[in-house]
C-alpha cells in the first residue's frame, strides 16, 4: 500500500473515470449524508488506536485449512472463535457460533444488511517473513501492519467490528440489522457455506469486504487445470547432465515465490551458462550450488494472489526459462520444465496455451499461472490456476485445454495422467440497489471523482449472496498483498477503511440517514 493517498488519487482518478462497457446501467455516486460523515469521524477519533491491537489478537491464530481438521475441531479455529466471541462481548454485539459460520450482529430489525467476511487464511512460509506470519509485525516497516490475514481478511473484520461499535455508540436507530458474517473456510471449501445457506436467510443487500475499491460488480471464475507428468528416466552416459528435479510453489492460488531444480552430472561450464541466463532476468534472485557434480538451483521471485499474477514474479516460470535452452535427456523433471516454458512461459494470459486465451470487454483477459509443481511417487503434479471472464463456455474451455495438452503430449511422446479441470463461473451483479451509495462513500472519503464499478480476477463469497457487492479493503491500482509472503495493510488504509465502512453501514442501515 502507498502511504501518500494524494499521489495515489492523482494516479488513478482518470482510470476510474474512464471505465467503459459496464455490465449494468451506470449509477452516479450518491452524496454522503451528514449523519454518515459524523459517524465516520466518531469511528476514527475513538477507535483508530484500538484497531492494530485488536488485529494482533486475530492474526495470532493460524487459521489455515489442515488435513484431517475442520473449524469445529482445529485448536487454532477454536481459539479464533473464542476471541471473536470475546470481542463481540466487549463491543456490545450479539454473537452466534454456527460451526463454519460466525454471526455478529447489531440491531433487531427483520430486514438486514449483510457484511460478508472470512476468518480463515492461506498458508504462509515462515522462512520468507522477517517475523512470524502469525504475529502482527508493527515495527519492521513503520506504518505497515504485517502478518497473515492483515488484508485478507482479518483486517476487514476488525474495521467492520469498530464501524458497528461506532453506530452503537451514537445510538443510531436501525431499520436494518447489521449482520457481520465470518465464514471459516473461504480459502479451502465453499460447500459448508452452501449448506448453511439452505437454512439461513441472508440479507437482501450485502457488502463483501474481501476485494478492492471502488465497488466490485463482477468477478472472474476461479478455474484450474491439474495433471501429472509421469515418471521418466532416459538412459544416459555418466557425464551427461540430467535435470532430475523441478519443483516449486506453495498453494494453488498463489503465484510461486520459490522454485528449485537439481541437476546431476553438472560441470562448471553448465553452471556458468545457466547463471548468465538467470542474471539476464529482472526481479529474480538465484542461488547456485555445485557440489560433487550435483547442481542445485534455487529461484526466488515474488509471491502474489494468483488473481493478480501481474503483481508477482513467478519463480517456477522464470526458472523454466533459465533451463529451456539446454538439451536435457527426457526425465519427468525435464519434461515438466519444458512444459512450463513452452505452454506457459513468462506471459500471464495463456497466450502460449493453444487456443485457450480470450478476453471480455469489461472483465478483461483470462489469466493463467502455473502455481504448483510438486514431485510425487507417480511423477510431477502440475497445477495451473486460471481466472476466467465471461465470453466462453466451460465446454469450449475444456475442448481448448484438451486440444492443447494433446498436441504437446504428441510432440514429446508422453501421456499426461490424471487430468482434472474445474471451470468456475464468472459472476456479475446487475442493478444492485446500493451501488450508488457505495460509490458515493468511496468518492467522498478518497476525493476521487466519478468512480465506476470494476471487475476483479478474484473469487469471493459474494457469489453466494444476493445483491453482494465487494467494497475494499484494497485501493484500486495498488498491489494486493493477500496470499503473498509479505501480506500487510497500512495503518492509513485501515483508518480509511474504517471511515468508509462506518459511513456505508449508516447510509444502508440507519433510519432516514440521507435526511439527517
> Which pLDDT tens digit goes with each residue over 301-339?
999 999 999 999 999 999 999 999 999 999 999 999 999
Predicted pLDDT at 514 = 61
At CB < 8 A and 24+ separation, what contacts does 392-398 make? 392/358, 394/423, 397/223, 397/356, 397/421, 397/423, 398/423
* Nearest of 305, 58, 97 to residue 183 by alpha carbon: 97
Per-residue pLDDT, averaged over 253-265, amounts to 97
Q: What is the pTM of this model?
A: 0.86
- DSSP state letters, 60-95: TS--B--TT--TTT-HHHHHHHHHHHHHHHHHT-EE
pLDDT above 70: residue 22: no
Predicted pLDDT at 11 = 38
Q: What H or E segment, with its residue span, contains residue 365? A: strand 364-365
pLDDT above 90: residue 505: yes
Q: For residue 214, is the peptide bond before it cis, meaning its omega torsion is within 30 degrees of 0?
A: yes
- Is there a contact between 246 and 380 (Cβ–Cβ < 8 Å)? yes
- Is there a contact between 508 and 176 (Cβ–Cβ < 8 Å)? yes
Instruction: Look up residue 267 and give its three cell numbers.
Output: 560441470
* Nearest of 263, 323, 311 to residue 283 by alpha carbon: 311
Q: In the chain, count of helices (H) and strands (E)? A: 11, 25
Calpha distance 323→341 (Å, rounded): 9
Q: For 125-143, b where at least 16 C-beta lie within 10 A, e where not — what string?
A: eeeebeeebbebbbeeeee
pLDDT above 50: residue 8: no
- Is there a contact between 17 and 484 (Cβ–Cβ < 8 Å)? no
Per-residue confidence band for 408, with pLDDT thresholds at 50, 70 and 90 = very high
Per-residue confidence band for 3, with pLDDT thresholds at 50, 70 and 90 = very low
| Distance set, CA 7 to CA 3, 446, 471, 478, 500 (Å) | 9, 12, 21, 12, 20
Amino acid at each position: 500500500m502507498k502511504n501518500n493517498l494524494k499521489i495515489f488519487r492523482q494516479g488513478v482518478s482518470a482510470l476510474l473515470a474512464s471505465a467503459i462497457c459496464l455490465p449494468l446501467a451506470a449509477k452516479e455516486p450518491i452524496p454522503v449524508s451528514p449523519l454518515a460523515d459524523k459517524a465516520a469521524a466518531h469511528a476514527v477519533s475513538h477507535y483508530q488506536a484500538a484497531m492494530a491491537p485488536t488485529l494482533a489478537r486475530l492474526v495470532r491464530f493460524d487459521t489455515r485449512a489442515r488435513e484431517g481438521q475442520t473449524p469445529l475441531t482445529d485448536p487454532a479455529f477454536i481459539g479464533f472463535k473464542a476471541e471473536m466471541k470475546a470481542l463481540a462481548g466487549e463491543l456490545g454485539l450479539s454473537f452466534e457460533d454456527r460451526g463454519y459460520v460466525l454471526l455478529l450482529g447489531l440491531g433487531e430489525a427483520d430486514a438486514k444488511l449483510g457484511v460478508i467476511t472470512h476468518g480463515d487464511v492461506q498458508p504462509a512460509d515462515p522462512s520468507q517473513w522477517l517475523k512470524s506470519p502469525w504475529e502482527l509485525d508493527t515495527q519492521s516497516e513503520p506504518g505497515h501492519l504485517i502478518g497473515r490475514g492483515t488484508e485478507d481478511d482479518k483486517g476487514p473484520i476488525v474495521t467492520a467490528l469498530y464501524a458497528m461499535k461506532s453506530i452503537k455508540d451514537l445510538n443510531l436507530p436501525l431499520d436494518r440489522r447489521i449482520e457481520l458474517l465470518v465464514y471459516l473456510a473461504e480459502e479451502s471449501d465453499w460447500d459448508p457455506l452452501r449448506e448453511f445457506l439452505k437454512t439461513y436467510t441472508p440479507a437482501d443487500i450485502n457488502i463483501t469486504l474481501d476485494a478492492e475499491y471502488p465497488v466490485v460488480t463482477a468477478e472472474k471464475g476461479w478455474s484450474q487445470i491439474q495433471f501429472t507428468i509421469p515418471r521418466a528416466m532416459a538412459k544416459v552416459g555418466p557425464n551427461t547432465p540430467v535435470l532430475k528435479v523441478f519443483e516449486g510453489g506453495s498453494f494453488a492460488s498463489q503465484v510461486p515465490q520459490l522454485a528449485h531444480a537439481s541437476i546431476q552430472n553438472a560441470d562448471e561450464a553448465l553452471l556458468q551458462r545457466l547463471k548468465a541466463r538467470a542474471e539476464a532476468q529482472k526481479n529474480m534472485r538465484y542461488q547456485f550450488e555445485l557440489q560433487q557434480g550435483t547442481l542445485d538451483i534455487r529461484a526466488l521471485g515474488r509471491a502474489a494472489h494468483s488473481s493478480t499474477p501481474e503483481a508477482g514474479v513467478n519463480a517456477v516460470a522464470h526458472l523454466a526459462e533459465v533451463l529451456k535452452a539446454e538439451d536435457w535427456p527426457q526425465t519427468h523433471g525435464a519434461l515438466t520444465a519444458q512444459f512450463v516454458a513452452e505452454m506457459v512461459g513468462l506471459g500471464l494470459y495463456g497466450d502460449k496455451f493453444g487456443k485457450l486465451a480470450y478476453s471480455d470487454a469489461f472483465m478483461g483477459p483470462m489469466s493463467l499461472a502455473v502455481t504448483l509443481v510438486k514431485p510425487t511417487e507417480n511423477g510431477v503434479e502440475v497445477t495451473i490456476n486460471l481466472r476466467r471472464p465471461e465470453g466462453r463456455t466451460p465446454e469450449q474451455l475444456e475442448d481448448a485445454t484438451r486440444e492443447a495438452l494433446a498436441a504437446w503430449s504428441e510432440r514429446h511422446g508422453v501421456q499426461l495422467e490424471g487430468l482434472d479441470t474445474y471451470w468456475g463461473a464468472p459472476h456479475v451483479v446487475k442493478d444492485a440497489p446500493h451501488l450508488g451509495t457505495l460509490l458515493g462513500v468511496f468518492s467522498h472519503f478518497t476525493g476521487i471523482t466519478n468512480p465506476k464499478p470494476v471487475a476483479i480476477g478474484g473469487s469471493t463469497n459474494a457469489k453466494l449472496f444476493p445483491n453482494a457487492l465487494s467494497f475494499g479493503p484494497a485501493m484500486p491500482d495498488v498491489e494486493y498483498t493477500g496470499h503473498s509472503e509479505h501480506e500487510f495493510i497500512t495503518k492509513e488504509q485501515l483508518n480509511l477503511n474504517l471511515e468508509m465502512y462506518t459511513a456505508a453501514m449508516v447510509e444502508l442501515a440507519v433510519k432516514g440517514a440521507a435526511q439527517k
